[in-house]
């Protein structure tokens, strides 16, 4: 046996047996988590320890995946994206570690992914060309000047265009100036050019060694194979001493202040107070701090958050909260949208509020609600699309990486029990934590970030001067050498991998793929809501560990157009403003104490085989099955008795939503661009733009002002939304639960619906019947008809160092029928054409395309892109590419398999129940899904040709939207600037 078992423990919290090993030859650590989860997960992590902000760890993370000994293709990672069924595939750089995680539900696929990843981390090619491509290099511009390009270089320019991320990063870094955490492991664009190739290669040699690795397996695969497989990989290495443990920061004896500047037109900035805390190792402390964080800032009723928001000094919270993924933990809170003269007041307010809580004590209801909420989340472990196994890996790494016991990190029952016992004895647990961790702790920093229009100019001028000085020192021969390097790099990028090289990448056979589309269980049942009315229910029989997932969907096709954008904030308005019986703090405490949470969202989509829009306001909730009565009681309270006339709360909600929409505009620039472009082509997408696109942001800005100038008008609008949307007889009640529990819940559900319908009937008798929306009205009379396409581009302006370039082609309108096979062609475009043209050659961070089978719109949008016109040309040229590309049978097979991987996304039970509801709302039947799958599996070369032709035919009707800066807009080619419509976004 080549591994020594250090410990084995059963961990009921994750229904697993967990074994911790050490590899005898190298000392590599291995954590083996054995359970029945089919979503198998694997990760190999290295402790990486940058000693500068030159981005070496991040550039290494990219470069290892650019070819290796066994897999000599340009990008094995992209080949896997193309051809694997993975449920997760990525690599991530953190301040003190680099992590290579994969997951798949298919065993053969899982082993393939692991094999490629291990070869990549232990035997990467790491040529100078790869360093230049992924890191940075000089280019000689046509006018003879120098510029810098590179994937990470550009990615980080994008990151440095995001003030929220910059501020949070500075908050962390400010606390640990003498350690590795004082640097930016992602890379500061101003420092990245200091990194040279030798330093880069040396970094790999030092840190990517088995003795410095943490290997993780999770799921239902064979545990013995894990060990034998890993031993084969590790055997060639011997043990090395790798000095990689991050150093400890000596706590400050007096608090410090840090001021930074970022790009921006705003005169308001960010301020946060941050504390350095204890080292890892005490799980009870860690869980107590998670609960304390929820107590202080978890909901809008939490005392510290409430004090900050009520102060009116800012618009939304800032700071990073509780940070556990460093050797020393840290805590942080602040505000954004703060005028400079108020920043000092924010700091005082934070300290005073904490002092008052420590002195007067915390409301016991808040404590109970917070413990219940944290416990519910730990038990549910609802990681959404992210594999549960990888969530477990990150929890374990939180201790493991610092040589503590990783299994301890997975247990939470005992610590929570102990905490409850201490509280029951009357211990002032959280108050004394506030005192020792915050009030008496001088290891503290205050970080202010102020936007300035000068900052962008300063940086550009400095970069220009620097490049000019370098240019002046270079001889003609050196310039020629640089040009030759770039040419060599371009040649490498343009030369396709040979078929022999591509054949090395392992993949599945079509025979491994199920022909049948996976079915989501869905049973329609009727609820006798009153003598006259039967309401509709959907039941999804799924094993949910006795958690009752319950949605109420309110279709609203007949709302007045001007009221539509309100629906997005309406959910928060009914949940967070209080009710007739409870003020908003009490109702939120009650929700926290008894449920796993209540939220709201809006769904829009086009109904299949019609052009009609489906739009629904959906209240989503969950609770343990035995708590359903309490959940129904609370839902009844907010659905029937929410007080919308709480002006102060509404102002706060609108400001928070506005601040969040502004903060996400640049990080999610491609999403904003796609939503806006698609709004031109269908009624449902036009609604989506007004509910969550840039139009929503403009609406929220107006609304924030109107609350002061026209409060009665705003209130009347909200009441009108309530009448139009909340129609209880015609709502759809969606239940996800196992059969046995459902039988017990069903009568209570009926009582709940009856109560709602009866109450609504009484209100109508009192004379408001006319305001209730007529059900099933003809949606063609509904508002938001599609806007006509427009040849000139729309330019959204914002302070950003990078661009987001979109163009949408209405191929359906141009005559191409919906075709499941186009998804395969899209996969090929994404991983071959767009990846090479936009990312590798163009230097953009990414370029996703989106194909909506239903509306027939094919949209492209680049992400963190240095170019504008060049990217648009590449979109138009996609049709030529598809019409002439030589696609081998092997490539086609890989793309089909990879596309199935995208379509069959792994879902936890609650996600299945919700997806089934959404399918129901837009009439996406099992038959239709199977039809599209059949087309997908039968994709052939002729589908590539037809999509090429369809894109060409749709070119005249295409819509172009760009998100760029004022300076960027000036570089637009003349033909595009003509008639371009500029819209100030930020």
Question: Active-site positions?
Answer: 61, 134
Whether residue 382 contacts residue 35, with contact meaning beta carbons closer than 8 Å, is answered with no
CB closer to Zn ion, 92 vs 482 = 92
Task: Give the shortest CB-91-to-Zn ion separation in angstroms.
Answer: 8
Whether residue 292 contacts residue 371, with contact meaning beta carbons closer than 8 Å, is answered with no
Site for Zn ion, residues 780 to 839, rule: CB under 5 A:
none
Q: Which two tokens stand for residue 292?
A: 């304390």
CB closer to Zn ion, 76 vs 957 = 76
CB closer to Zn ion, 305 vs 864 = 864
CB closer to Zn ion, 134 vs 266 = 134
Whether residue 509 contacts residue 500, with contact meaning beta carbons closer than 8 Å, is answered with no
Task: Identify which range of 120-128, 147-155, 542-550, 653-661 contacts Zn ion by CB under 5 A.
Answer: 147-155
Q: Residue 453 and residue 261: Cα distance in Å, rounded?
A: 10
Task: Identify which range of 151-159, 323-331, 411-419, 907-915 contacts Zn ion by CB under 5 A.
Answer: 151-159
Task: Identify which range of 153-161, 365-373, 684-692, 827-835 contacts Zn ion by CB under 5 A.
Answer: 153-161
Whether residue 621 contacts residue 550, with contact meaning beta carbons closer than 8 Å, is answered with yes
Site for Zn ion, residues 9 to 68, rule: CB under 5 A:
none
User: Which runs of consecutive H residues, i.e. helices, occur in 679-812?
Assistant: 683-692, 694-709, 711-725, 739-763
CB closer to Zn ion, 75 vs 155 = 155
CB closer to Zn ion, 590 vs 830 = 830
Task: Identify which range of 152-160, 360-368, 531-539, 547-555 contacts Zn ion by CB under 5 A.
Answer: 152-160
Task: Give the shortest CB-798-to-Zn ion separation in angstroms.
Answer: 22
Torsion of CA 904, 909, 912, 916, to 10 degrees: 150
Task: Give the shortest CB-51-to-Zn ion separation in angstroms.
Answer: 20
CB closer to Zn ion, 155 vs 408 = 155
Element (H, E) at 493: helix 476-494
CB closer to Zn ion, 169 vs 794 = 169
CB closer to Zn ion, 186 vs 799 = 186
Q: How many Cα atoms occupy the beta-carbon half-sphere of 579 within 13 Å?
A: 20
Q: Residue 978 and residue 734: Cα distance in Å, rounded?
A: 51
**Of 865, 874, 875, 854, residue with least CA distance to 959:** 875
Q: Which class for 683: exposed (0-12), middle (13-18), buried (19 or more C-beta within 10 A)?
A: buried
CB closer to Zn ion, 61 vs 395 = 61
Count residues contacting Zn ion (CB under 5 A)? Answer: 1
Task: Give the shortest CB-162-to-Zn ion separation in angstroms.
Answer: 14
**Of 878, 681, 957, 800, residue with least CA distance to 160:** 800
CB closer to Zn ion, 155 vs 323 = 155
Task: Identify which range of 148-156, 168-176, 700-708, 786-794 contacts Zn ion by CB under 5 A.
Answer: 148-156
Whether residue 269 contacts residue 340, with contact meaning beta carbons closer than 8 Å, is answered with yes
Cβ-based neighbours of 526, under 8 Å, separated by 6 or more: 534, 535, 536, 537
CA angle 59–65–69, rounded 5-degree value: 120
Q: Residue 29 and residue 7: Cα distance in Å, rounded?
A: 12
The owner of tokens 């092997």 is 890
Residue nearest to Zn ion (CB): 155
Q: Which two tokens stand for residue 896?
A: 């089909």
Provide DSSP, 24-63.
TTT--EEEEEESS-SSEEEEEEEE---SSSS-HHHHHHHH
Whether residue 293 contacts residue 331, with contact meaning beta carbons closer than 8 Å, is answered with yes
Strand 613-624 and strand 523-528: the pairing is unpaired
Mark 101-140 with x for binding to Zn ion (rule: CB under 5 A) and - for no binding: ----------------------------------------
Q: How many Cα atoms occupy the beta-carbon half-sphere of 692 within 13 Å?
A: 16
Task: Give the shortest CB-175-to-Zn ion separation in angstroms.
Answer: 24
Site for Zn ion, residues 523 to 562, rule: CB under 5 A:
none
Provide DSSP, 108-132.
HHHHHHHHHHHHHHHSB---HHHHH
Hey, which bits of 542-664 come out as E strands? 547-555, 597-606, 613-624
Mark 563-582 with x for binding to Zn ion (rule: CB under 5 A) and - for no binding: --------------------
Task: Give the shortest CB-152-to-Zn ion separation in angstroms.
Answer: 6
Hey, which bits of 532-648 come out as E strands? 534-541, 547-555, 597-606, 613-624
CB closer to Zn ion, 155 vs 266 = 155
Q: Residue 506 and residue 76: Cα distance in Å, rounded?
A: 10
Q: Residue 971 and residue 902: Cα distance in Å, rounded?
A: 37
Site for Zn ion, residues 165 to 204, rule: CB under 5 A:
none
Q: How many Cα atoms occupy the beta-carbon half-sphere of 394 within 13 Å?
A: 19
Q: Residue 643 and residue 947: Cα distance in Å, rounded?
A: 52
Cβ-based neighbours of 196, under 8 Å, separated by 6 or more: none
Mark 743-782 with x for binding to Zn ion (rule: CB under 5 A) and - for no binding: ----------------------------------------
Strand 16-23 and strand 3-11: the pairing is antiparallel
Task: Identify which range of 2-10, 149-157, 291-299, 732-740 contacts Zn ion by CB under 5 A.
Answer: 149-157
Task: Give the shortest CB-54-to-Zn ion separation in angstroms.
Answer: 14
The owner of tokens 């606390």 is 175
Q: Which two tokens stand for residue 100?
A: 């290579």
The residues of the shown chain that bind Zn ion, judged by CB under 5 A, are 155
């Amino acid at each position: 046996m080549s591994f020594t078992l250090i410990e084995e423990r059963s961990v009921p919290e994750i229904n697993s047996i967990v074994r911790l090993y050490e590899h005898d030859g190298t000392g590599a650590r291995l954590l083996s988590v054995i359970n029945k989860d089919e979503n198998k997960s694997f990760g190999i992590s290295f402790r990486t320890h940058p000693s500068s902000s030159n981005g070496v760890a991040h550039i290494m993370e990219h470069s290892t995946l650019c070819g290796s000994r066994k897999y000599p293709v340009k990008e094995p990672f992209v080949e896997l994206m193309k051809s694997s069924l993975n449920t997760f595939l990525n690599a991530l750089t953190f301040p003190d570690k680099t992590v290579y995680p994969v997951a798949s539900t298919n065993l053969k696929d899982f082993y393939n992914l692991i094999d490629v990843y291990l070869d990549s981390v232990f035997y990467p090619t790491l040529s100078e060309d790869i360093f230049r491509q992924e890191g940075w290099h000089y280019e000689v511009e046509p006018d003879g000047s120098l510029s810098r390009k590179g994937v990470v270089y550009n990615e980080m320019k994008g990151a440095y265009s995001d003030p929220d991320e910059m501020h949070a990063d500075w908050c962390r870094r400010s606390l640990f100036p003498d350690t590795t955490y004082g640097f930016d492991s992602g890379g500061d664009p101003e420092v990245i050019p200091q990194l040279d190739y030798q330093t880069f290669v040396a970094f790999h040699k030092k840190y990517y060694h088995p003795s410095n690795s943490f290997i993780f397996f999770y799921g239902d695969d064979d545990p013995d194979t894990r060990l034998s497989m890993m031993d084969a990989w590790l055997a060639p290495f011997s043990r090395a001493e790798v000095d990689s443990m991050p150093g400890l920061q000596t706590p400050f004896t007096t608090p410090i202040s840090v001021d930074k500047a970022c790009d921006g037109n705003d005169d308001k900035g960010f301020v946060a107070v941050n504390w350095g805390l204890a080292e890892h190792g005490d799980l009870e402390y860690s869980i107590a701090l998670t609960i304390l964080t929820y107590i202080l800032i978890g909901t809008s009723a939490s005392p510290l958050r409430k004090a900050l928001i009520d102060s009116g000094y800012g618009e939304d919270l800032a700071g990073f909260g509780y940070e556990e993924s460093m050797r020393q933990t840290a805590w942080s809170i602040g505000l954004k949208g703060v005028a400079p003269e108020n920043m000092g007041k924010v700091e005082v307010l934070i300290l005073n509020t904490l002092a008052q809580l420590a002195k007067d004590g915390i409301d016991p209801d808040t404590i109970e609600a917070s413990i219940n909420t944290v416990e519910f989340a730990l038990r549910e472990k609802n990681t959404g699309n992210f594999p549960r196994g990888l969530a477990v890996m990150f929890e374990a790494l939180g201790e493991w990486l610092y040589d503590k016991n990783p299994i301890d990190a997975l247990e939470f029952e005992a610590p929570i029990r102990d905490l409850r016992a201490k509280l029951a004895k009357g211990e002032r647990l959280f108050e004394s934590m506030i005192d020792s961790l915050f009030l008496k702790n001088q290891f503290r920093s205050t970080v202010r970030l102020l936007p300035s229009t000068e900052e962008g100019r300063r940086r550009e001028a400095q970069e220009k001067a620097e490049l000019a000085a370098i240019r002046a020192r270079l001889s003609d021969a050196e310039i020629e050498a640089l040009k030759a390097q770039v040419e060599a790099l371009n040649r490498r990028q343009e030369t396709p991998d040979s078929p022999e090289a591509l054949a090395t990448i392992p993949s599945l056979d079509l025979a491994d793929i199920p022909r049948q589309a996976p079915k989501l269980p869905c049973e329609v049942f009727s609820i006798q809501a009153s003598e006259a009315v039967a309401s509709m229910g959907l039941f999804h029989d799924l094993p949910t560990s006795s958690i009752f997932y319950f949605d109420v969907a309110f279709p609203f096709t007949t709302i007045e157009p001007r009221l539509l954008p309100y629906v997005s904030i309406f959910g928060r308005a009914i949940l967070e403003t209080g009710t007739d019986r409870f003020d908003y703090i009490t109702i939120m405490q009650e929700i926290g104490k008894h449920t796993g949470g209540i939220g709201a969202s809006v769904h829009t989509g086009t109904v299949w085989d019609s052009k009609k829009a489906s739009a629904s306001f959906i209240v989503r909730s969950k609770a343990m099955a035995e708590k359903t009565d309490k959940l129904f009681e609370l839902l009844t309270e907010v659905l029937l008795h929410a007080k919308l006339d709480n002006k102060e709360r509404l102002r706060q909600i609108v400001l928070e939503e506005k601040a969040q929409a502004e903060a996400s505009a640049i990080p999610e620039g491609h999403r904003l661009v796609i939503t806006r472009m698609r709004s031109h082509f269908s009624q449902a997408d036009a609604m989506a733009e007004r509910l969550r696109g840039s139009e929503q942001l403009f609406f929220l800005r107006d609304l924030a002002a109107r609350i002061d100038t026209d409060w009665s008008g705003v209130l009347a609008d909200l009441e009108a939304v309530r009448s139009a949307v909340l129609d209880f007889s015609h709502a759809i009640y969606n239940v996800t639960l196992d059969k046995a529990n459902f039988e017990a819940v069903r009568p209570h559900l009926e009582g709940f619906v009856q109560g709602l319908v009866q109450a609504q009937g009484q209100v109508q008798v009192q004379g408001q019947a006319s305001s209730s929306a007529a059900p099933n009205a003809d949606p063609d009379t509904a508002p938001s008809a599609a806007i006509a396409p427009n040849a000139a581009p729309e330019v959204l302006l914002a302070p950003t160092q990078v661009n987001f370039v979109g163009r949408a082609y209405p191929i359906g309108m141009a005559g191409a029928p919906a075709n499941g096979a186009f998804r395969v062609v899209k996969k090929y475009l994404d991983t071959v054409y767009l990846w090479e043209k936009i990312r590798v050659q163009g230097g953009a961070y990414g370029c996703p395309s989106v194909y909506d089978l239903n509306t027939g719109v094919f949209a492209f949008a680049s992400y963190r892109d240095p170019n504008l016109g060049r990217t648009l040309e590449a979109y138009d040229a996609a049709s030529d590419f598809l019409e002439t590309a030589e696609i081998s049978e092997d490539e086609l097979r890989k793309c089909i398999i990879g596309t199935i991987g995208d379509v069959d996304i792994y879902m936890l039970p609650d996600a299945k129940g919700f997806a089934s509801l959404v399918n129901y709302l837009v009439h996406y039947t099992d038959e239709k899904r199977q039809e599209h799958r059949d087309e997908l599996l039968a994709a052939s070369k002729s589908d590539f040709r037809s999509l090429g032709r369809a894109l060409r035919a749709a070119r005249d009707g295409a819509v172009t939207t760009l998100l760029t800066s004022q300076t960027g807009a000036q570089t637009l080619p003349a033909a595009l600037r003509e008639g371009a419509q500029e819209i100030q976004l930020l």
